Amino acid sequence: MAFTLNVNGRAHAIDAEEDTPLLYVLRDELGLNGAKYGCGVGQCGACTVLCDGKSLRSCLVPASALGGREVATLEGLKAPDGTLHPVQRAFLTEQAGQCAYCIPGMVMAAVALLREKPRLTEAEIRSALDANLCRCGSHNRIVRAIQRAAEELAR
C-alpha cells in the first residue's frame, strides 16, 4: 500500500503493508532508530513518539492510518541548529539514562506531558510515566530530569 507519512516536518512516500506498525516504518523504512522496540504490544513505552503533539505508542498503530497527521520522533526534537530540546538537556544533566534503551520513549512522553501540563507535581510525573518502563530502575533520575526541564521551559 502506498501512502504519505509526515515525520519531523517532512513528507515521506511509503510503500508498506496496510497493517505495518508505525515503529517498523520509522526504523526500517526511514532509518529513524530513536523509537525502540521493547514489547511490541503497547506495554513498555520504548516506542513512544508524538502524533500531532500527543504521545503515541508506535508499535500499536499502523503507519498507513496516519496520513495527514504529523509524527515527531526523537530525531526531530532538536532545533535546526542542533541545540537539544530542554527535555533532552535535562535528561543528560541528570544522567537519567543507564542502558538508555527506554530513554527516547521517556523523552518523547515527557515532551508530550509538559506540553499538556507545564506544571506538575512529582506524583503527577510519576503517575503520567507509570506505563513507561525502565528496566535499569532510573525512574528517580528521570523524574528529576522532567522536573528540571519543566523549570527551564517555564522561564
User: Which residues make up the interface to ligand FES (CB under 6 A)?
Assistant: 37-40, 42-47, 57, 59
Kindly state the smallest distance separating residue 21's Cβ from ligand FES, in Å.
Answer: 8
Q: Which is nearer to ligand FES, 4 or 43 (CB)?
A: 43
- Annotate 61-118 with DSSP letters as a single string: SBGGGGTTSEEE-GGGTS-TTSPPPHHHHHHHHTT--SS-SSHHHHHHHHHHHHHH-S
Q: Which residue has the cell 521517556?
A: 106
Q: Which is nearer to ligand FES, 27 or 141 (CB)?
A: 27
Kindly state the smallest distance separating residue 61's Cβ from ligand FES, in Å.
Answer: 10
Kindly state the smallest distance separating residue 18's Cβ from ligand FES, in Å.
Answer: 19
Q: How far apart are CA 106 and CA 91, in angstroms?
A: 9
Q: Which is nearer to ligand FES, 90 or 108 (CB)?
A: 108
Return the SS3 of 3.
Answer: strand
Kindly state the smallest distance separating residue 55's Cβ from ligand FES, in Å.
Answer: 11
Return the SS3 of 135.
Answer: coil
Q: Which is nearer to ligand FES, 47 or 149 (CB)?
A: 47
Return the SS3 of 33.
Answer: coil
Which residue's C-beta sits nearest to ligand FES? Answer: 59
